[in-house]
A = this chain, B = another copy of it.
Amino acid sequence: MERIEHRASFGGYQDVYRHESKTLGCAMNFSVYLPPDAEKDRLPVLYWLSGLTCNEQNFITKAGAQRYAAEHGVILVAPDTSPRGEGVANDPAYDLGQGAGFYLNATEEPWAKHFRMYDYIVKELPELIEAEFPATEARAISGHSMGGHGALTIALKNPGRYKSVSAFSPIVAPSQVPWGEKAFTAYLGEDREAWKAYDAVELVKTASERLPLLVEQGLGDEFLETQLKPHLLQAACDAVGHKLVLNMRSGYDHSYYFIASFIGAHVAWHAKALRGEANPPSVSPDAHLATGVR
């Protein structure tokens, strides 16, 4: 593991590391924000999963989350979004292959060898973080768009592993939208039964742990109706009585300006759960249409 960036930020350090991932069979970058308290204590960790086309840089340069992590004493870890490199399969499209790992373990060729982001995020990365950094085993997870899908599905599939989960503009039902159908067909094959293992709307039906879900969604999001469809998650949660705080924010789009505007509330919410306190509500579920912006 090699540190390739090291920058003072809000009294702590925003670092980037590079390591050889056994799970993915390639070199991977991930970012770690160590708040000032990390000098004296082991701290809980919030994992952030980014969206299509992103790498470990987008969240750390654009979200402004370091301020809140410093305030609440939370380590932030943001990995790359897929395996990378010349020996790794790829596709010219932005929504398949490198930069588009979808946080699953691929079973189809040519993807199966390297595209194992699910195992990387659930196992290898936290093992590394907890061994090499002043981190406790208290974990939270969040993400944006494809990464919101990753955060929700990974938390729902791993009871007891995360104290809290949230998402910005997540792909809640990949099996039912173009981004997900394309990626799942390529990575998992034609059999839609196999897709259910990576679909939040499907997983919530049978989740054994009822971790409350906090979802932030902009009403000006250009992908809202075609790719994101948060009402499908609302319906699935309502059907089984799974707690969902869905904040629909008037005017906000799919960009990091949206994430930056509400990441402080999410970090505070995760910090509460990471300290062992129950965390909902963060904003009333009825604030759907009128919050945030003129």
Contact = CB atoms under 8 A, between A and B. Distances in A.
Interface of A: 7-14, 36, 39, 61-62, 64, 66-67, 218, 220, 249-253, 255-258, 260-261, 264, 292-294
Contact of A8 (B7, B61, B62, B257): B257
Among A11, A13, A220, A257, find the residue whose CB has the most chain B CB atoms closer than 10 A: A257
A8 B39 contact: no
Among A36, A64, A66, A255, chain B packs the most CB atoms within 10 A around the CB of A64
A8 B256 contact: no
A260 B39 contact: no
Given A8-B220, A8-B257, A12-B293, 13 more contacts: A8-B252, A8-B253, A8-B258, A8-B261, A8-B293, A11-B293, A11-B294, A13-B293, A36-B294, A61-B62, A64-B64, A66-B261, A67-B261
Contacts of A10: 260-261
Max chain B C-beta neighbours (<10 A), residue from A10, A14, A252: A10
A285 B9 CA distance: 21
Contacts of A292: 8, 11
A90 to B, nearest CB: 27
The 6 A-B pairs with the shortest beta carbon distances in the complex, nearest first, are A64-B64, A8-B251, A9-B257, A8-B252, A7-B257, A8-B293
Contacts of A7: 252-253, 255, 257-258
A67 B64 CA distance: 10
Contact of A257 (B14, B36, B220, B249): B14
Count the copies: 2
A260 B8 contact: no
A133 to B, nearest CB: 15
Nearest to A64: B64
A293 B6 CA distance: 13
Nearest to A63: B64
B11 A260 contact: no
A9 B251 CA distance: 9
Nearest to A252: B8
A257 B61 CA distance: 8
Contact of A260 (B9, B218, B252): B9
Contacts of A261: 8-11, 66-67
25 contacts: A7-B253, A7-B258, A8-B220, A8-B249, A8-B251, A8-B252, A8-B257, A8-B261, A8-B292, A9-B257, A10-B260, A10-B261, A11-B292, A11-B293, A36-B293, A36-B294, A61-B61, A62-B62, A64-B67, A64-B260, A66-B257, A66-B260, A66-B261, A67-B260, A67-B261
Nearest to A10: B261
